[in-house]
Structure 1
């Protein structure tokens, strides 16, 4: 039996606060048009909840949350949830990972290429496992 063992290391970089504009649409902090992971943290008086995602272009992905199309179920769900929390006075912060990710595979160090979807998805799954292991509820289905 072959054993697969992978260790991943990265740090979330704070991007800024998510807010609402005059039309009650989500307003995101400026982000680069590059691949990576992103994390929304919804902070209320009672709890901390996270949503973690991956994308090939961060700025475009956030725009999809701001103006979701009628068939984009995840975008519609997250848009409504974030707007609801912001209207209640909860804070929503955005963090991202766009560089500096390493993985150790079979005892060898490997630089994770975030332009490769399979590597982003692996990193997203690792981030979700890490959050859940720390007891942080996630909104990912």
Structure 2
């Protein structure tokens, strides 16, 4: 799937570098894209050369699709069309049951030190929690009781999102709003804790969704909205908006 997305980006943006492909595809890391590009070269679907990137305009190793790569994309698209047609012909209505087992895990600087706003994570913790994630902020009052106020979000790279909460940019309205709210609550003696969602693989019909699936932005948002809806119906006050 990642290979197909990378190949499609290269077709649409010839002479683009790995860094720009990473940004466009919202991938976890540049290394992930570089690995896929090298495999595409081995299969003859693209070739790489030092050139000016069409997007960032820097002199880098860029990627150009070959005729074999174009044929591969056309074949993939035909397969998708055939699969969609088969599904549509088979049924106009569908149904799936979700058996979703999940757990919220606090983030730790080390074995004994829990991460609390506004302390930044150390290097080791940043590396550990850099993966795509669904997360929640919880507010704990001075008596140590968790409030009914939570914020549930998603991020392609959790550690980068944490940094944006700690040091929001001028255009980051949600990050700035929460930073202000959390700072005010800290002054009143509250603790602000961040937790990361883990869950067992589950199925949407015949399709398995697992934690690796969170690399896809639509899947992350699906899980995020499912959890937000769950807590909203459970009587929690969501401070997402």
**Which residue in 1 is equivalent to 2:58?**
none
| C-alpha distance in structure 2 between counterparts of 1:4 and 1:89, whole Å | 48
TM-align CA RMSD: 2.1
More strand by share: 1
Name the structure, 1 or 2, with higher relative contact order (CA <8 Å, separation 6+). 1
Matched, 1:62 2:162: yes
Are the counterparts in 2 of residues 6 and 103 from structure 1 also a CA contact under 8 Å?
A: no
| C-alpha distance in structure 1 between counterparts of 2:226 and 2:208, whole Å | 16
Match of 2:136 among 16, 27, 39: 39
| C-alpha distance in structure 2 between counterparts of 1:118 and 1:70, whole Å | 26
Matched, 1:110 2:208: yes
Label 1:3 to 1:64 Cα distance change in 2 as closer, same or farther (>3 A). Answer: same
**Which residue in 1 is equivalent to 2:238?**
138
More helix by share: 2
| C-alpha distance in structure 2 between counterparts of 1:67 and 1:78, whole Å | 11
Equivalent residue runs for 1:1-141 within 5 Å:
1-7=92-98, 8-15=100-107, 16-19=114-117, 26-29=118-121, 30-31=125-126, 32-44=129-141, 47-97=147-197, 99-106=198-205, 108=206, 110-112=208-210, 113-141=213-241
State the Cα distance separating 1:135 from its structure 2 match.
1.0
Q: TM-score, normalised by structure 2?
A: 0.50
Count residues in correspondence. Answer: 133
Larger-gyration structure (1/2): 2
Q: TM-score, normalised by structure 1?
A: 0.83
Structure 1 portions without partners, runs of 5+? 20-25
Are the counterparts in 2 of residues 10 and 102 from structure 1 also a CA contact under 8 Å?
A: no
Label 1:102 to 1:91 Cα distance change in 2 as closer, same or farther (>3 A). Answer: same
Which 4+ stretches in 1 moved above 4 angstroms?
none
Are the counterparts in 2 of residues 43 and 49 from structure 1 also a CA contact under 8 Å?
A: no
